[in-house]
């Protein structure tokens, strides 16, 4: 893996903590808009977020935007979604269930992403 992102968010939650999911995507989108190459790493229970249409009903209300809108803008503006393979297997999620733009990674990749980031936000 080369050309590492400068801003990395790790997210270990799904609908079990919609506040953290919303903050993760709000921060990641904000980092993109400030010119950072940005990645969200989905770990543990957070891997559910990469499932197609999973975030469609996550909306914690003002002043935050619905996650489906944040995700759409994030991906359109070049944001990356990285998903832990071991966590997918542990949660019985098949690769075919994932967003087409999601990239499956392993633990060494997670370490490399964090080691090479200028800034991280960890919501685990």
User: Can you give the CATH number for the domain in which 56 is found?
Assistant: 3.40.1260.10
Q: Is residue 1 part of a domain?
A: no
Under 8 Å between Cβ of 82 and 36:
no
Burial 93-113 (b: 16+ CB within 10 A, else e): beeebbbeebeebeeebbeeb
Q: How high is the pLDDT of residue 3?
A: 83
Q: How high is the pLDDT of residue 1?
A: 53
pTM of the complete model: 0.96
Q: Is residue 42 part of a domain?
A: yes
| Domain span holding position 22 | 8-115
Q: How high is the pLDDT of residue 36?
A: 97
Q: Is residue 124 part of a domain?
A: no
What is the total count of domains within the chain? 1
Q: Is residue 43 part of a domain?
A: yes
Q: Is residue 37 part of a domain?
A: yes
| Average pLDDT score, the chain | 97
pLDDT, tens digit, 9 for 90 and up, residues 43-96: 999 999 999 999 999 999 999 999 999 999 999 999 999 999 999 999 999 999
């Amino acid at each position: 893996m080369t050309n590492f992102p400068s801003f990395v968010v790790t997210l270990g939650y799904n609908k079990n903590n919609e506040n953290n999911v919303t903050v993760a995507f709000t921060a990641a989108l904000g980092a993109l808009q400030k010119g950072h190459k940005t990645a969200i790493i989905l770990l543990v229970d957070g891997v559910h977020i990469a499932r197609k249409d999973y975030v469609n009903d996550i909306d914690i209300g003002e002043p935050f935007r619905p996650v489906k809108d944040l995700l759409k803008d994030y991906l359109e503006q070049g944001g990356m979604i990285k998903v832990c393979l071991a966590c997918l297997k542990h949660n019985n999620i098949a690769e075919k269930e994932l967003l087409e733009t999601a990239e499956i990674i392993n633990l060494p990749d997670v370490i490399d992403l964090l080691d090479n980031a200028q800034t991280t936000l960890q919501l685990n």
